Amino acid sequence: MKAREIAYTGLFVAMTAVSAQIAIPIGEVPITLQVLMVLLSGFLLGSKLGFLSQFLYVVMGALGFPVFANFQGGFGVIYGPTGGYLLAFPLAAFLTGYIGERKENISWYFAAAITGICVIYLLGWLRLGFFIGGNFKKAFMIGILPFAGIDIIKAVVAVIIALRVKRAGVL
């Protein structure tokens, strides 16, 4: 791996950690900017480095570094109600990057972003549903529904930023 790739990967680990602290608590699952960073890591770093950046972020948090929302860390957070969302981050970054690598246009990137969000929602919803005793309808109502519109906006922002950065030739 090149020094530049290591630096950008580390930068996205840090940006995801910072974005987790920009949180609005609305119940079991807070609103954060993490999804935006997950999507951007896939778009800007590509599938492999995007995956690696998010994997390292989750590992750091699991090891106890306070990188998750509200400066939390530790395996208990992974095991808790938001653990599925966190565990989905590397896969979502990989898929977003993989799809984005195929074609560099706004509609293709938007499809990639929605795919990434759907992966996060699926794993997050499943973990939250099990956490609250198997009530998957309630898990959907508190873990997906309040976030759908906000995450669509994050997807649009991620697509715009990624395409502009790519066209500028920065990454």
pLDDT at 1: 83
Range of the domain at 65: 3-168
Whole-number average pLDDT of the chain: 95
Q: pLDDT for 13-57, tens place per residue? A: 999 999 999 988 887 677 899 999 999 999 999 999 999 999 999
Of the pLDDT bands very low, low, confident and very high (cuts 50, 70, 90), residue 140 is very high
pTM of the full predicted structure? 0.95
Provide the pLDDT for residue 29.
Answer: 73
157-169 burial, b at 16+ Cβ within 10 Å, e below that, comes to ebbeebbeeeeee
Q: What is the pLDDT of residue 111?
A: 98
Does residue 138 have a pLDDT over 70? Answer: yes
pLDDT of residue 28: 66
Q: What percent of the chain has pLDDT over 90?
A: 91
Q: Is residue 155 very low, low, confident or very high in pLDDT (cuts 50, 70, 90)?
A: very high
The DSSP annotation for 24-86 comes to B--SSS-B-SHHHHHHHHHHHHHHHHHHHHHHHHHHHHHTT-S-BGGGB-SHHHHHSTTHHHH
Q: What is the CATH number of the domain that holds 42?
A: 1.10.1760.20
| Residues 95 and 52 sit within 8 Å (Cβ to Cβ) | no
- Domain tally for the chain? 1
> Cα separation of 168 and 79, whole Å?
41
φ, ψ (nearest 5 deg) of residue 22 = -90, 80
Q: What is the residue type of 94?
A: F
Query: What are the distances in angstroms from CA 66 to CA 29, 61, 63, 120, 123?
Result: 17, 6, 9, 21, 22
In tens, the pLDDT along 72-108 reads: 999 999 999 999 999 999 999 999 999 999 988 999 9
